[in-house]
Amino acid sequence: QEIIKTQSFRELSDLGLVSILQSDHLAIDEVPLIQAVREWAYVSSAVLDVPVSVVAQDVVRDLRLVLLSPDELTTLERENAKDELIPEIQIAQAWKFHALKKVSDSNPHHYQRRKGTLAREHHRYLDPPAK
């Protein structure tokens, strides 16, 4: 978790960050990870002189928004209104999961908890049904 606070993290390429975000072995919860990605995007945006949403478009696809609680998702939406870091469709898909309490077949990897994911009540819907 300390690595996300380093200058080296903020200087990662988008491909390097995507590779990290695709890992299930990250020992960090999604909330601080999203904040770290936001900080990375602001640094990259300033360096490359492009909007935050553009610099982060390939990276944010690997954020696992369904792992957030409804309250956390509401906070994320509020923050996102300022910089449009995360596409609205991605946030809508997370809300769809909360409404239906069902894992979508479209991208099952986004429903996988990371090693550092803190337990939340709705995570029980991420598990396959018991046989």
Give pLDDT tens digits for 97-117.
999 998 887 778 889 999 999
First CA to last CA distance, the chain: 36
58-62, 67-71, 123-127: least confident range = 123-127
Alpha-carbon gap, residue 7 to 5, rounded angstroms: 7
Contact 98, 120 (CB under 8 A): no
- Interval 66-88 mean pLDDT: 97
In this model, does residue 36 exceed pLDDT 90? yes
